[in-house]
Chain A
Amino acid sequence: MLNFFADPQWIIPNIIAPFIFTAVALMFYGNVSNSLALYAVIGGGMMGMWGSTLYGAGFALSSDRWNGTLEYVLGTPSRLIWIVAGRSFSAAVLGLVNALAILLIVVLGFGANLGIVNPLAFLLALVLTLVSLSALGVLLCSSFLLTRSAQVMTNGLEMPLYVASGSMFPIALLPFWSQGFSFILGPTWGIDAMRYAAYASYTGMAFGYWADILVLILSTLAYLAVGFWLFIVVERRVRRDATLVEI
């Protein structure tokens, strides 16, 4: 994480971009209601957490490759999946800074008054969503190990999750054929759970808060299981093909 912070460009995807998205979205509406403000905080925060996770996990692997540290990291007795998981999770937590920044904007800049109906349920959903984002980052990082273009892939994967998870707008607005992708994303259920906890009368995906939490947990476990297997396969492959040193 120190290496991550030492490079100032982390500020762009983690703070500036979600800040701009949220502020612009709110300005479109003019008068900002409490429910809209909460929508912006949750959505913007999610964007920040995902951007941070991708950057922290994916870019970190690219950095390791460029620095020549990837071989050394692989040569330690710590399993690569746990190294990546640690980076993913800490990066996702860092993304919470976005949520706080956006909260300040809507409260101070737009005068909104956020009233979360069930703070404990909200907090549980938030924490589980963070873990789910980290697990998703771990899953994707296994493929990053195979390529020299991890950073390009990182950039390409940011937007799809913003759109498909319901961060920017409800997934009901998406074409029917694309909604399936939304449903396999754990964060989609996490955001829905947070909205159930935050709003007094929220119908969302109509499965209810606890159903969302259950799917969130199961999808996270699935990401970790598949990610664990993929990392074993990928490590064998890079040792066989000698691609770790390729820049």
Chain B
Amino acid sequence: MSLNVEKAIVVSDLCRAYHTSKGIIRKKREVVEAVKGISFEVEHGELFGLLGPNGAGKTTTIKMLTTLLTPTSGTARVLGYDIVKDVMNIRRRIGIIFGGERGLYYRVSGRQNLRYFADLYGVPMAIRDKRIDDLLDMVGLKERADLRVEGYSRGMKQRLHIAKGLVNDPTLIFMDEPTIGLDPEAARETRAMIRGLVDKGKTILLTTHYMFEADELCKRIAVISNGKIVALDSPSELKRFVKDITVVEIEAFGVSDKDLATLRLQAEVTAVNAELEGERQIVRIQTAKGSEFIPIATKILERAKVLDVRTKEPTLEDAYLKLVT
């Protein structure tokens, strides 16, 4: 029986440190603080996002909340149960979807994978096979359910992960980067599935480093950087961090690191981000000067070949860059 609680998740000053060692003969011990005192709450029926760069502490946070890791300090309650003391009560009620290539038994079929985990979750035999059929139908794997997982594509494995995470009909679902590595169509289908789950009343905590995904799906987002939450609000409110900023986007070849460093040193610039799209570089400059900054930017980039310059309204990605850099 679940406790009657107001919040699905309550996290208070949660910390987690990892102890590692270097060397063989003279071992040097190191402590890595992955999560440094985070606090947040998630409402029932909410799709809550944890957004952050690689190594920010997102996966560590999820693993603590799903009882796979114990915190170093701090407390958290999931569906009213303590993550250290009430482990089994939590495990019965949550679903875990980590995704990726691993986490499935490759030499048996998708259906057999689901049956095994259904048994581990104690799904009654009377409803087990019907539920598995429904899940396979939902994720579009019914035709391939009886083939070995080793023959599945990346997208099919991800869909099987989703089915596996729902096999016990959980109240609360934890998803760690559910669309990573998927092609655009598969990713779109996955996001649609996630929205469908929220419509059915599920609570979802999702981690991602895709800004548009967080913007599209999440009611609220916690931006986590270097183990700390640097902002927590709805996507529209987070964009207010950059409401006075314009983004100058420059498409170019041959932009050097020195050029980027020079741009960052300009007084009017709050953040600079460069990405590679094929062979072109896309340099995004956040500036309060707007289009007036374009001549300054093109002067700095005079050694590069500039293909196109445009100004844009700031997006969630720009707010995120401002928060984490």
A interface residues with partner B (beta carbon < 8 Å): 2-3, 6-7, 67-69, 71-78, 83, 236, 239-242, 244
Q: A236-B70, A240-B70 in contact; A72/B164 too (CB < 8 A)?
A: yes
Verify if B196 is at the interface (C-beta below 8 Å from A): no
- Once the chains bind, are B70 and A67 in contact (CB under 8 Å)? no
- Once the chains bind, are A77 and B92 in contact (CB under 8 Å)? yes
Closest-by-CB residue of A relative to B107 is A6
- Once the chains bind, are A242 and B92 in contact (CB under 8 Å)? no
Q: A67-B106, A71-B68, A72-B103 in contact; A78/B120 too (CB < 8 A)?
A: yes
How many angstroms between the C-alpha atoms of A83 and B121 in the bound complex? 12
Closest-by-CB residue of B relative to A79 is B88
Q: A67-B102, A67-B103, A69-B103 in contact; A76/B68 too (CB < 8 A)?
A: no
Contact flags B91-105 to A (C-beta < 8 A → 1, else 0): 110001010111111
Q: Which residues of B contact A240 (CB under 8 A)?
A: 69-70
Verify if B226 is at the interface (C-beta below 8 Å from A): no
Closest CB pairs A-B (n = 8): A68-B102, A6-B107, A76-B120, A77-B91, A77-B92, A68-B103, A78-B120, A239-B70
Q: Which residues of B contact A77 (CB under 8 A)?
A: 88, 91-92, 120-122
B interface residues with partner A (beta carbon < 8 Å): 18-19, 63, 66-70, 88, 91-92, 96, 98, 100-108, 112, 117, 119-122, 148, 164
B114 smallest CB distance to A (angstroms): 12
Q: Which residues of B contact A83 (CB under 8 A)?
A: 120
Closest-by-CB residue of A relative to B118 is A76
Q: A7-B107, A71-B98 in contact; A241/B120 too (CB < 8 A)?
A: no
Q: Please list 17 pairs of residues, one from A and one from B, whose beta carbons are closer than 8 Å in the complex, sorted by A's number.
A: A2-B108, A3-B107, A67-B103, A67-B104, A68-B102, A69-B104, A71-B68, A75-B66, A75-B96, A76-B91, A77-B88, A77-B120, A83-B120, A236-B70, A239-B70, A242-B18, A244-B68
How many angstroms between the C-alpha atoms of A72 and B116 in the bound complex? 11
How many angstroms between the C-alpha atoms of A75 and B63 in the bound complex? 10
Q: A3-B105, A71-B103 in contact; A76/B69 too (CB < 8 A)?
A: no
B150 smallest CB distance to A (angstroms): 9
How many angstroms between the C-alpha atoms of A78 and B119 in the bound complex? 9
- Once the chains bind, are A239 and B103 in contact (CB under 8 Å)? no
How many angstroms between the C-alpha atoms of A69 and B102 in the bound complex? 7
How many angstroms between the C-alpha atoms of A207 and B194 in the bound complex? 66
Q: Which residues of A contact B108 (CB under 8 A)?
A: 2-3, 6
Q: Which residues of B contact A72 (CB under 8 A)?
A: 96, 98, 103, 117, 164
Q: Which residues of B contact A3 (CB under 8 A)?
A: 105, 107-108
Q: Which residues of A contact B105 (CB under 8 A)?
A: 3, 67, 69
- Once the chains bind, are B120 and A73 in contact (CB under 8 Å)? yes
How many angstroms between the C-alpha atoms of A11 and B69 in the bound complex? 37
- Once the chains bind, are B103 and A76 in contact (CB under 8 Å)? no
B258 smallest CB distance to A (angstroms): 39
A4 smallest CB distance to B (angstroms): 9
How many angstroms between the C-alpha atoms of A140 and B91 in the bound complex? 26
A90 smallest CB distance to B (angstroms): 13
Q: Which residues of B contact A69 (CB under 8 A)?
A: 102-105
How many angstroms between the C-alpha atoms of A6 and B100 in the bound complex? 22
Q: A72-B96, A75-B68, A75-B91 are in contact. List 12 more A-B contacts (CB 8 A).
A: A2-B107, A2-B108, A2-B112, A67-B102, A68-B103, A69-B104, A71-B103, A73-B120, A76-B91, A239-B68, A239-B69, A242-B63
- Once the chains bind, are B19 and A241 in contact (CB under 8 Å)? yes
Q: Which residues of A contact B101 (CB under 8 A)?
A: 68
